[in-house]
Amino acid sequence: MTENQKNIILEVRDLSIGYADKKKKVIVKNQLNFKANQGEFICLLGKNGVGKSTLLKTLSKVIPKLAGNILINKNEINKINSKLFSKILSVVLTERLPESNLTVFELVALGRQPHTNWVDNLSVEDLNMVNNALELTNTVHLKDKNIFELSDGQLQKVLISRALAQDTPIIIFDEPTAHLDIHHKIETFLLLKKLSKEAQKTIIISTHEIHWAIELADTIWLMTANNCYFDSPENLKNQERFQELFDSLLVTFDAQSNQFKISVP
């Protein structure tokens, strides 16, 4: 077994994703095959409606897969019970939190639920994990604030802390930079990159920040209308795959700047 194979945490074989009910099946994408390693920073790119959220929801067991296999640590995810699964994979969602009196500390501590006893009592280890998670995102000073006193940028960091406190090898983010200004977007990207390396987390994010994804991601999952590519940014660039992101002739990809250019007719 080579070193590389040892670190494979997620393996997907012939996966079909989409939505199904009793009457019909809508297949969004099929025949997906890819792998993810421990400590890998992965950016999922694709235009709206192409199936990014469907893929992430399928990987995090929010919706069932239609066919194929998803293996985490060589175990089929359907065979992992939800308690155990919550110790393997955590999520950071785009949806707004419901109103409550939660403080930052309490919110992050909720990440410990899969590890705590039935009355949610925090052990010394739990407290250490919570404080450690707050330190990693530089949010210790916010600890006692109500979560509704936070700015969007602060809240995003606190939600990342919550996922860190859950202490899972894989963390999935659904558009973590969507509501943020450019400063916080870069900060979030760098933080996630840092966490993937320092804490050896496999971090999967969906994003529209294509140029930063190309610069910072270890691997890019690129979803276009007709195809899906799972490769390093360099390879995808060399194969001119980014051009396929937009089928319009008005937008062209400039490999020099990693940016899309608008060509006004």
Total binding residues toward other proteins, as defined by CB under 8 A:
34
Residue number with CB closer to other proteins (206 or 224): 206
Q: How far is the CB of 170 from other proteins (least distance, A)?
A: 11
Q: Per-residue x/- mask for other proteins, residues 92 to 121, rule CB under 8 A?
A: -x-x-xxxxxx---xx-xxx-xx-x-xxxx
Crossing angle of helices 124-136 and 152-165, in 10° steps, is 140
Stretch that binds other proteins, among 8-16, 37-45, 87-95, 132-140 (CB under 8 A): 87-95
Q: For residue 96, what are its two tokens?
A: 């707004």
Binding to other proteins in span 131-190, by CB under 8 A:
166
Rounded Cα distance between 246 and 244, Å, is 5
Half-sphere exposure of 182 (CA within 13 A, CB side): 2
Write down the residue that tokens 């949806």 correspond to: 95
Residue number with CB closer to other proteins (63 or 199): 63
Residue number with CB closer to other proteins (60 or 219): 60
Q: Which amino acid is at 190?
A: L
Query: Could you say which of 72, 77, 89, 133 contacts other proteins (CB under 8 A)?
Result: 89
Kindly report each contact of residues 72-80 with a partner whose C-beta sits within 8 Å and lies 24 or more positions away, as own/partner: 72/9, 72/10, 72/170, 73/9, 74/11
DSSP-derived 3-state class of residue 146: strand
Stretch that binds other proteins, among 77-85, 176-184, 203-211, 235-243 (CB under 8 A): 77-85
226 interacts with other proteins by CB under 8 A: no
User: 69: closest CA among 30, 38, 24?
Assistant: 30
Rounded Cα distance between 135 and 125, Å, is 15
Which residue ranges make up the site for other proteins (CB under 8 A)? 60, 62, 82-87, 89-91, 93, 95, 97-102, 106-107, 109-111, 113-114, 116, 118-122, 127, 166
